[in-house]
A and B are shown apart, each in its own frame.
Chain A
Amino acid sequence: MRHVISLLIENEAGALSRVSGLFSARGYNIESLTVAPTEDPSLSRMTIVTTGSDDVVEQITKQLNKLVEVVKVVDLSESAHVERELMLVKVRATGKEREEMKRMADIFRGRIIDVTDTSYVIELTGNQAKLDSFVGAIDAGLILETVRTGICGVGRGERVLKV
């Protein structure tokens, strides 16, 4: 089962490697991991997408909580939440493909943020499935490179992860 784990951790040197080291040492999967400081600069917030049975995910959250610098851990996927990921796609945009690529970007509510005679860079945000479908919808031969941030997520409504 796919789980989205969100955590607050002291914004200190080495904090990221404590988390990533824990996952590799105990053989847990990381599908994606994003981290950046929060509005309180002493704290970083991390979103980790992982897969595992309920037992494994329970251990993952317990082990994360055990790290001395981790302040709070929640499994966002236990209830309603939103997820977003940012993707930048550089595509070949020449001839008739140029107009088609612009149309596809519009359909997916993407924005073209860099233009040359031969290429576009398209910025797209959404959940993983949306980004996957965009990549599937355009001609694979035209993709020059893609870069994705991994998802970040937040609980819906009153559910707040805060110190």
Chain B
Amino acid sequence: MVITGAEIVIRCLQEEKVDYLFGYPGGAVLHIYDELFKQDQVRHVLVRHEQAAIHAADGYARSTEKVGVALVTSGPGATNAVTGIATAYCDSIPMVVISGQVPSAAIGQDAFQEVDTVGITRPCVKHNFLVRDVREIAETIKKAFYLARTGRPGPVLVDIPKDITAQKCAFSYPATVSMRSYNPTVKGHQGQIRKALQLLLEAKRPMVYAGGGVVLGDAADKLTALVRKLGFPCTNTLMGLGAYPATDRQFVGMLGMHGNYEANMGMHYCDVLLAVGARFDDRVIGSPDHFASEPRKIIHIDIDPSSISKRVKVDVPIVGDVGDVLGELLALLDGTSQRPEEASLAAWWKQIEEWRRRDCLKINLDPEIIKPQYVVQKLWEVTGGDAFVTSDVGQHQMWAAQYYKFDKPRRWINSGGLGTMGFGLPAAMGVQLAHPGSQVACVTGEGSIQMNIQELSTCKQFRLPIKVILLNNGYLGMVRQWQELFHGNRYSESYMDALPDFAKLAEAYGHVALKVQKPGDVEGALREAFGRKSDLVFLDFAVDPTENVYPMVQGGKGLTDMILSAEDL
């Protein structure tokens, strides 16, 4: 039996067990939408802007172990999707994006709603395809899912011209994929793993530095087991939060530009560093030269060889799946009676505790004005530390990362690599759909929320009871902070005059809204919001407009060069 290309697309998604497809219809994908209409296995979530479709698929993928899937039309549909795709690419999120294209014969003719989607997205996808024949659709989609979820995950785009979705051919979904050009290394090199363990056992001042790769590789349990067995301190990157439980004593907090004092000091002064699924990026280690100024041995486990020795030279590179390699390390550790020298480890912990006593995340509470950090702290308490928290980008993102103690992986959903404002609300939609009974909070700012605020309409349509935690300081806070610190208090274009009344706006979209002005009302408002299990509640917190994110390592400076509070200025 022959079926149309459009039906093949839907059948492929069914074969991949896709339950939610985030998208927006348009001319080039009308055949696909028509087939979508005829079935109910794949549920379509109609967003209000294609960027949001991609972020929602992204949030869905980050909070599950599944591939996020989105469908957009040609031309502006595809270009609107680009920011979302780049966001997913920078954070290695498994995703398949299907885009419509003008009919084959019209390609290159400057047709209506034509862009070179494959060309535009090439630098920000793991791989992309232009389907040229209806008989290629099934194999291409199979490959797309395989590429998206294996190796270092990432978004894969499949561009399908409209005429091909109308043509017919027989359908069979391939059971397996084999690509001679693509065979990611999963198993780590045994000799290297042994060498790594030896280094760890001989360490006097060890540090474990875990990134988003541990979360994506579903290796948090193994990491936690290894760290506990060794008794080492552990820090997580912004992307790695939840990879090691934040409430554990061995956790020294997030590291990097706004990392904890003890994490950054420990990272700099350790003698053996175990880096797992992390990439030593500029927001994590600051200046590579300064980082290299202190001698230490570095073990680096990563699935992507190009992440190893890219910014920092490492001593023991191990290419492989982080879960696999950590499992091997654990097995080797179990097989030996040798343990790290207790006396030196105790001395190292003493030093770390001394750093920890600086209490770098202390909040200077004020009886009159709400401190943004306090809102996040209360959010953590009210949700029992068990919510999925998405964020946008800026000060509120850093406060959420610093003050919400993530004990589990896949709970903290943020755009770390690209830093995409407007990510939080649509990402929360994907999270809420994937976890219908769970508490989902979107911590945002008044700048970021306006970049995709139209999605409040999608939330209404799909009855998504997200809690929007708006830390409204009336400024593009992170920009204002840099202008205060490095540009002589010249607040160039960082003050948003003429902000809307967010509560009224949320109500206009059909949601419940609360305005919170006093510190004493914060907890009550949060409790009320989370008590409303079936409503989206938009909480507009008027927070201290002068508050800055500390600690802070200035861009390009060394990790030990931290501004701990306003007094350090």
Measured CB to CB, the residues of A under 8 A from B are: 9-10, 13-14, 17-18, 21, 25, 55, 58-59, 62-63, 65-66, 68-71, 163
**Bound Cα distance A55, B309 (Å):** 8
Report if B147 contacts A (CB, 8 A).
Answer: yes
* Complex contacts, B181 vs chain A, CB 8 Å: 9-10, 68-71
Which chain B residue lies CB-closest to A69?
B181
Report if B112 contacts A (CB, 8 A).
Answer: no
- Residues A62 and B147 in contact in the complex (CB < 8 Å), given A18-B122, A25-B123, A71-B180: no
Taking CB atoms and an 8 Å cut-off, the chain B residues in 144-168 that contact chain A are 147
Of the residues B123, B127, B147, B310, contact of A59 by C-beta under 8 Å: B310
State how many angstroms separate the Cβ of A37 from the closest Cβ of chain B.
Answer: 15
The DSSP consensus for interface residues of chain A is helix
* Complex contacts, A69 vs chain B, CB 8 Å: 127, 181
State how many angstroms separate the Cβ of B67 from the closest Cβ of chain A.
Answer: 16
Residue from the set A55, A66, A68 with the largest chain B CB neighbour count within 10 Å: A68
**Bound Cα distance A89, B123 (Å):** 37
Report if B279 contacts A (CB, 8 A).
Answer: no
* Complex contacts, A17 vs chain B, CB 8 Å: 119, 122
28 contacts between A and B (CB under 8 A): A9-B181, A10-B181, A13-B130, A14-B119, A14-B122, A14-B130, A17-B122, A18-B122, A21-B122, A25-B123, A55-B309, A59-B310, A62-B305, A62-B306, A65-B305, A66-B304, A66-B305, A66-B306, A68-B126, A68-B127, A68-B147, A68-B179, A68-B181, A68-B182, A69-B127, A69-B181, A71-B180, A163-B180
* Complex contacts, B147 vs chain A, CB 8 Å: 68
State how many angstroms separate the Cβ of B463 from the closest Cβ of chain A.
Answer: 39
Report if B333 contacts A (CB, 8 A).
Answer: no
* Complex contacts, B179 vs chain A, CB 8 Å: 68
* Complex contacts, A13 vs chain B, CB 8 Å: 130
Report if B382 contacts A (CB, 8 A).
Answer: no
* Complex contacts, B563 vs chain A, CB 8 Å: none
**Bound Cα distance A93, B298 (Å):** 65
Report if B118 contacts A (CB, 8 A).
Answer: yes
**Bound Cα distance A69, B122 (Å):** 13
Residue from the set B181, B304, B305 with the largest chain A CB neighbour count within 10 Å: B181
Number of A-B contacts (CB under 8 A): 37
Taking CB atoms and an 8 Å cut-off, the chain B residues in 75-118 that contact chain A are 118
B1-25 contact mask (Cβ, 8 Å, vs A): 1 or 0: 0000000000000000000000000
* Complex contacts, A65 vs chain B, CB 8 Å: 305-306
Which chain A residue lies CB-closest to B183?
A71
**Bound Cα distance A65, B151 (Å):** 13
State how many angstroms separate the Cβ of B95 from the closest Cβ of chain A.
Answer: 15
**Bound Cα distance A54, B188 (Å):** 24
* Complex contacts, A163 vs chain B, CB 8 Å: 180
In the complex, the 5 A-B pairs of residues with the closest C-beta atoms, listed nearest first:
A62-B306, A68-B127, A71-B181, A62-B305, A25-B123
**Bound Cα distance A65, B183 (Å):** 10
Taking CB atoms and an 8 Å cut-off, the chain B residues in 118-144 that contact chain A are 118-119, 122-123, 126-127, 130
* Total residues of chain B contacting the partner, CB 8 A: 17
* Complex contacts, B118 vs chain A, CB 8 Å: 14
B413-440 contact mask (Cβ, 8 Å, vs A): 1 or 0: 0000000000000000000000000000
**Bound Cα distance A69, B183 (Å):** 11
* Complex contacts, A71 vs chain B, CB 8 Å: 180-181
* Complex contacts, A25 vs chain B, CB 8 Å: 123
Taking CB atoms and an 8 Å cut-off, the chain B residues in 506-530 that contact chain A are none
**Bound Cα distance A69, B179 (Å):** 9
Q: List 12 additional A-B contacts (Cβ < 8 Å) besides A62-B306, A68-B147.
A: A10-B181, A13-B130, A14-B118, A17-B119, A55-B309, A63-B306, A65-B305, A66-B304, A66-B305, A68-B127, A68-B182, A163-B180
Which chain B residue lies CB-closest to A65?
B305
* Complex contacts, A59 vs chain B, CB 8 Å: 306, 310
Which chain A residue lies CB-closest to B307?
A62
**Bound Cα distance A9, B127 (Å):** 14
State how many angstroms separate the Cβ of B179 from the closest Cβ of chain A.
Answer: 7
Which chain B residue lies CB-closest to A13?
B130
**Bound Cα distance A59, B304 (Å):** 12
* Complex contacts, B304 vs chain A, CB 8 Å: 66
* Complex contacts, A21 vs chain B, CB 8 Å: 122-123
* Complex contacts, B130 vs chain A, CB 8 Å: 13-14
**Bound Cα distance A40, B50 (Å):** 41
* Complex contacts, B126 vs chain A, CB 8 Å: 68
* Complex contacts, B180 vs chain A, CB 8 Å: 71, 163
* Complex contacts, B306 vs chain A, CB 8 Å: 59, 62-63, 65-66
**Bound Cα distance A13, B122 (Å):** 13
Which chain A residue lies CB-closest to B132?
A13
State how many angstroms separate the Cβ of B305 from the closest Cβ of chain A.
Answer: 5
State how many angstroms separate the Cβ of A18 from the closest Cβ of chain B.
Answer: 6
- Residues A58 and B309 in contact in the complex (CB < 8 Å), given A68-B127, A71-B180, A71-B181: yes
**Bound Cα distance A33, B503 (Å):** 59
**Bound Cα distance A162, B475 (Å):** 59
Which chain A residue lies CB-closest to B304?
A66
* Complex contacts, A14 vs chain B, CB 8 Å: 118-119, 122, 130
**Bound Cα distance A14, B127 (Å):** 11
Which chain B residue lies CB-closest to A55?
B309
B177-204 contact mask (Cβ, 8 Å, vs A): 1 or 0: 0011110000000000000000000000
State how many angstroms separate the Cβ of A101 from the closest Cβ of chain B.
Answer: 44
* Complex contacts, A70 vs chain B, CB 8 Å: 181
**Bound Cα distance A14, B131 (Å):** 13
**Bound Cα distance A59, B181 (Å):** 18
**Bound Cα distance A70, B122 (Å):** 15
**Bound Cα distance A14, B147 (Å):** 18
**Bound Cα distance A62, B304 (Å):** 9
State how many angstroms separate the Cβ of A69 from the closest Cβ of chain B.
Answer: 5
* Complex contacts, B310 vs chain A, CB 8 Å: 59
**Bound Cα distance A163, B130 (Å):** 25
State how many angstroms separate the Cβ of A73 from the closest Cβ of chain B.
Answer: 11
State how many angstroms separate the Cβ of A10 from the closest Cβ of chain B.
Answer: 6
**Bound Cα distance A69, B310 (Å):** 22
Taking CB atoms and an 8 Å cut-off, the chain B residues in 293-313 that contact chain A are 304-306, 309-310
* Complex contacts, A10 vs chain B, CB 8 Å: 181
Taking CB atoms and an 8 Å cut-off, the chain B residues in 271-323 that contact chain A are 304-306, 309-310
